[in-house]
Amino acid sequence: MNGPAITRATPDRVPALASVLAAGFEADPMVRWPFHDHDVRSRAEPMFAGLLTEYQRLGIAWEAGDGAGVAGWIPPGSDVGLAQANVATWPLIPQLTDDGGARYRAFWGWLEAHVPTSRTGCSTWWRSIPRCRARGSVVH
């Protein structure tokens, strides 16, 4: 099967990949709600840049081709958990939201309370593939 190469994201790719994620998720209710449904893309891009910076540091950010897609995968048995991986977004949210991050905290608090504590498979927390229909999805 031929397709784009899948490689670990590097620090220099974070801005471009954050733009891919912001475009892919700008219509997603999970992203729109904390931003009160306005200026979503411009607010989501710095959020995703912070997230990607941390995911890249942890070795769990991946890129397909030259920005053809981006994903965050937490492999089975990893010491990295969702809360640890998402820690980089918390300081950014109050300045990006109209409510100081209240909706964001409520949503992620609920989500983290429902994430299984043991995983047997690879967890894909987000992915954005702009050139196909699977834009902006979050799966587990």
Determine the pLDDT at residue 123: 55
Confidence of residue 135 (pLDDT cuts 50, 70, 90): very low
33 inside domain: yes
139 inside domain: no
pTM of the model: 0.77
Residue 4 is given by DSSP the state: P
Query: What Å distances lie between residue 80 and 55, 73, 104, CA to CA?
Result: 10, 10, 21
82 inside domain: yes
Q: Which residues, 6 or more positions from 28, have their beta carbon under 8 angstroms from its beta carbon?
A: 136, 137, 138
Confidence of residue 132 (pLDDT cuts 50, 70, 90): very low
HSE-CB of 114 using CA atoms within 13 angstroms? 7
78 inside domain: yes
Percent helix, percent strand, percent coil in the chain, to nearest 5: 45, 15, 40
pLDDT tens digit sequence for 64-123: 988 888 988 877 777 777 677 777 778 888 998 999 999 988 988 887 787 666 555 555
Expressed as residue numbers, the domain containing 12 is: 7-128
Number of structural domains in the chain: 1
Residue 11 is given by DSSP the state: G
**Beta-bridge partners for 6:** 64
108 inside domain: yes
